[in-house]
Amino acid sequence: MTDRYAVIGNPISHSKSPLIHAQFARQTKQDLSYEAIPAPLDGFRDTVLVLRDEGCRGINVTVPFKFEAFQLATQLSVRAQAAQAVNTLKFDGTEIIGDNTDGAGLVADIEHNLGFILQGKRVLLMGAGGAAYGVALPLLNAGAIITVANRTEDKAYQLAALFSAHGAIHGSSYIALTGSQFDCVINATSSSLADSLPPLPRGESVSPFSSPGSSFSIEEHAKRGGVFAPDALAYDMMYGKETPFLIFAKEQGAARLADGLGMLVEQAAESFFLWRNIRPDTAPVIAKLRLI
């Protein structure tokens, strides 16, 4: 019998998850269906419980329901507890198991797909919303040394305080970043959705259209004064367009640029593994989505 899975959000019609999971299922020869289901803003719990009672095996959860999913779960993984948000539900008898695969997806994309090892690296994490909470613990577990900056400063300090028992992390305002440099700068804000840019300190522009991969000497970088260290990776969790953050990072001399498409596919693969105990090959799926 075909096993049923779904992603729930509001809105949800834009979701690439059905496409991704259909490719995973084909590749691993799993007999399953996966559909996108909208839930009314006040109807997440009912939508999930109806699906479960109809025999659905698991659900991905996206904006704005990740916190409600966290509350609905009867068992939580360590990373879901840390994130205080759930993007994957698995039904097991009467239990609703909640997990958060966003952080594992980000780390897999950065380390395996982009070949950037996080151990000992200075990481600037911008944002203190659901996405930042989801990735903080996996980044710390990978050995990153994190500075978290947020527009509403207090939230950056709260996030850092919550995770400080797990590794090196501290909060900052954007202005206080002046003079600091980072090996990896991650945009976990929703600024790109509004075509805007977090208020990062601006160094002297290198060249508006320097190609990704171009590099500058350590002295040159220090003189320019931006937040990007030599060989820095600039990562925007948003995908599907060249964002203001990635344009800014290129201008400021970041050596490498990446969007969040790889993270999207990797977090899906982690959910798939939780449900089916099989790890799909993500590379061909990422490559295919890049063409769409």
Strands of the sheet containing 145-149, edge to edge, are 169-172, 145-149, 122-126, 182-187, 228-236, 256-258
Between 68 and 231, whose beta carbon lies closer to ligand NDP?
68
* Min dist. Cβ of residue 122 to ligand NDP (A): 20
Marked catalytic residue, from 16, 66, 90, 121: 66
Between 181 and 271, whose beta carbon lies closer to ligand NDP?
271
Between 101 and 181, whose beta carbon lies closer to ligand NDP?
101
Between 191 and 271, whose beta carbon lies closer to ligand NDP?
191
**Cis before 230 (ω within 30):** no
Instruction: Give the orientation angle of helix 130-141 with respect to helix 153-163, to 10 degrees.
Output: 40
* Min dist. Cβ of residue 149 to ligand NDP (A): 9
Question: Structure tokens of 232?
Answer: 């820095």
The C-alpha atoms of residue 27 and residue 7 are separated, in whole angstroms, by 20
* Min dist. Cβ of residue 118 to ligand NDP (A): 17
**In this structure, what DSSP letter does residue 214 have?**
-
**In this structure, what DSSP letter does residue 54 have?**
T
* Chain position whose Cβ is nearest to ligand NDP: 129
* Min dist. Cβ of residue 53 to ligand NDP (A): 28
Question: Structure tokens of 164?
Answer: 């400080």
Between 1 and 194, whose beta carbon lies closer to ligand NDP?
194
Has 66 been annotated as catalytic? yes
By C-alpha distance, which of 66, 35, 70 is closest to 51?
Answer: 35
Q: What residue ranges bind ligand NDP (CB under 6 A)? A: 63, 102, 105, 127-132, 150-152, 155, 188-194, 196, 198, 237-239, 260, 263-264, 267
**In this structure, what DSSP letter does residue 64 have?**
T
Cα angle value 93/98/101 (rounded, 5°)? 135
* Min dist. Cβ of residue 55 to ligand NDP (A): 28
Catalytic machinery residues: 66
